[in-house]
Amino acid sequence: MSSNSEQRVQSGEAPRTSTVPEDEDAVTELGESRYLIITALLGHPQQSMSITEFEFMVPTLSESSIRYHVDRLCEEGVLVKDQLSSGYRRPKSPYTFYSFSDHGRELLSELGLSWREAWFEELHHVVRKTDRVIQIEEMPRP
């Protein structure tokens, strides 16, 4: 990580840098937006995220852009979309979550990202989150 990135992570801010040099091939293969989405998910403690969590962790993309890319990743079989059953839904909280499919896990391995899972988890952990994001992160997942 660059010193600028390290300072942001240490201060707890959401990462502002787009990619890391070690992942250049993955960025080329996926495109920068999808790389950011996939690595945010890879770092999530439950590896299952709502659109709200993606928006927070990938602040350089708009909600509509995130939705577009997440939908395409689902169509391509990289991600799966799951919903909480009605008995577990909370008012004003997300009930749709996205996680890696088996094909998505294979892709992570092919792109050399799976071995960096712990690094992305640590990055996710040190980011200072809003109370709302913490509340969503602690929700049960499908």
Q: Per residue of the chain (142 residues), what is the pLDDT tens digit?
A: 333 334 334 445 554 444 565 778 788 788 899 999 999 999 999 999 999 999 999 999 999 999 999 999 999 999 999 999 888 888 888 999 999 999 999 999 998 888 888 888 888 889 999 999 999 999 989 9
3-class SS of residue 138: coil
Q: Is residue 62 part of a domain?
A: yes
Those residues with Cβ within 8 angstroms of residue 115's Cβ, 6 or more apart along the chain or in another chain? none
Q: Is residue 75 part of a domain?
A: yes
Q: Is residue 121 part of a domain?
A: yes
Q: What is the CATH number of the domain that holds 101?
A: 1.10.10.10
Strand residues in the chain grouped as ranges (E): 48-49, 79-83, 96-100
Q: Is residue 94 part of a domain?
A: yes
Strand residues in 55-133 grouped as ranges (E): 79-83, 96-100
Predicted local confidence at residue 3, as pLDDT: 36
Q: Is residue 111 part of a domain?
A: yes
Whole-prediction pTM value? 0.81
Predicted local confidence at residue 103, as pLDDT: 96
**Cα separations in angstroms, 102 against 31, 77, 106:** 21, 8, 6
CA neighbor of 114 nearest in space, from 52, 12, 17, 23: 23
Q: Is residue 71 part of a domain?
A: yes
Range 2-5 contact pairs with CB under 8 angstroms and sequence separation of 24 or more? none
Q: Is residue 142 part of a domain?
A: no
Total structural domains within the chain: 1
Q: Is residue 27 part of a domain?
A: yes
Predicted local confidence at residue 86, as pLDDT: 87
Range of the domain at 125: 3-137
Predicted local confidence at residue 38, as pLDDT: 95
